[in-house]
Amino acid sequence: MNSNTTRTIMNNLLRLGLAGGIFLAGCGPTFDPASLIETTRVVGARVEVEGAPDRAMPKPGETANVTWLITSPEATPPLGWAFAVCTPGTVGGKASLGCESTPLASFEGTASPPRISIAVPATSALGSATALILYGEICSGVDSGPLFDPQSGAPGCTGGGGTTVSLSIPVQQRDETNHNPIADRAFTFDGGVWAALATGEDPCVVGPRVAAGSNDHVIGNLTQGSDRETYTALSSDPPVATLVRETLQISQFTTAGELKNQFSFVDATDSNAETTVDVKWNAPQADAVPAAGLPVTFTFVVRDNRGGIDWTTRVACVN
């Protein structure tokens, strides 16, 4: 599978609203895992209520701030972006994650990461809608910039060099809220404390440092039970309001080497106050490592599968 085919599949999945958890099928034994960051990629979007950033579900009349997570194997290239906000529509009788009606608002810019503020309409203006759709294009590179189609108003990128993204933003209808989980509780690398890299620090000086070609390094990620909220869902037949608990999904990415699993989970049935999830990582081979050492960035994206999301990074050095 070539890089253009992979990018096309990525874009299609993002358009279907799977930016929160992208699954790619391989074309053969040489296919690089989806957890390996080889190009600039969109891997998530976080909603924060203005004045209450821990809340992921805005109420009618509040402001929702949306930040997109962009990852790259090295420095993120110049970005441009164009978004439209609309109420959900349908295409062929199925829910659409695009804008099928006149947008409530449009946004464009070049800030990195992309971040916009959405004024959530009042209940009277929302009507029967229980969510908003944020649909758009994130343009990467100096030759690709944001634009809006002059006829349809649809967001796009000059030269077609963008990633199509769509995000459903649930609007709180009752007293039941949803909060963003916290990704950065505590990490270990091969049993040692693994702190976030401070500004200006060299990972090949402060570590952790591992040998090229070494295998089965264990990354430990501490989660807390408080990040898995209870909420009411309809279940059974006929549907009955039932109190259930969230499951945490942790998406794991690396800029080099190989993670044994792209996803880790903490089940709703886990009753522990703290749960550590482990993932193993193999360092890249010596022919991919320069003499001065290779900094490797790991990105961890935590989702509660109800719209709550958070992320953090760690850096190691391969010598």
In this structure, the chain runs to a length of 319
By residue range, what is the domain housing residue 68?
Answer: 3-170
End residue of a domain, out of 170, 196, 211: 170
Same-domain check for residues 14 and 143: yes
pLDDT in tens, the chain (319 residues): 333 333 333 333 343 333 333 322 223 333 457 999 999 999 999 999 999 999 999 999 999 999 999 999 998 989 999 999 999 988 888 888 888 888 999 999 999 999 999 999 999 999 999 999 999 999 987 788 899 988 777 899 987 778 999 999 999 988 889 999 999 999 999 999 999 999 999 999 998 999 999 999 999 999 999 999 999 988 888 989 999 999 999 999 999 999 999 999 999 999 999 999 999 999 999 999 999 999 999 999 999 999 999 999 999 999 9
Q: 144, 94 in Cβ contact below 8 A? A: no
What is the CATH number for 11? 2.60.40.10
Residues 6+ positions from 117 with CB-CB distance below 8 Å: 50, 63, 64, 65, 66
How many domains, in total, are found in the chain? 2
Question: How far is residue 77's CA from residue 71's CA, in Å, rounded to a whole number?
Answer: 10
Note whether 165 and 281 are same-domain residues. no
CA-to-CA dists, residue 114 to 117, 228, 233, angstroms? 11, 27, 32
Inside any domain, residue 118: yes
Work out the number of other CB atoms within 10 angstroms of the CB of residue 15: 17
Residue 276 near residue 304 (C-beta atoms within 8 A): no
Is 162 in the same domain as 190? no
Burial class (CB in 10 A: 0-12, 13-18, 19+), 193: exposed
DSSP H or E segment with residue 70: strand 63-71
User: Do 138 and 222 belong to one domain?
Assistant: no
**Domain identity same for 206 and 123:** no
Is 175 among the domain residues?
Answer: no
Q: Check whether residue 26 and residue 148 sit in a common domain.
A: yes
Question: Does one domain contain both 281 and 151?
Answer: no
Assigned domain for 181 exists: no
Residue 176 included in any domain? no
Within a domain: 177 = no
The answer to whether residue 34 is domain-embedded is yes
Stated as kind and residue range, the H or E segment containing 250 is: strand 248-254
Whether 180 maps to a domain, the answer reads no
Q: Which is nearest to 140 in space by CA: 46, 66, 41, 69?
A: 41
> CB of 185 within 8 A of CB of 224?
yes
Strand, helix or coil for residue 199 = coil
| Any domain includes 131 | yes
> Are residues 17 and 155 part of one domain?
yes
How many whole angstroms separate alpha carbon 261 and alpha carbon 33?
A: 9
Q: In this structure, are 14 and 146 located in the same domain? A: yes
Final residue belonging to a domain, choices 141, 170, 199: 170
Which CATH number is 261's domain given?
A: 2.60.40.150
Residues 157 and 211 placed together within one structural domain of the fold: no
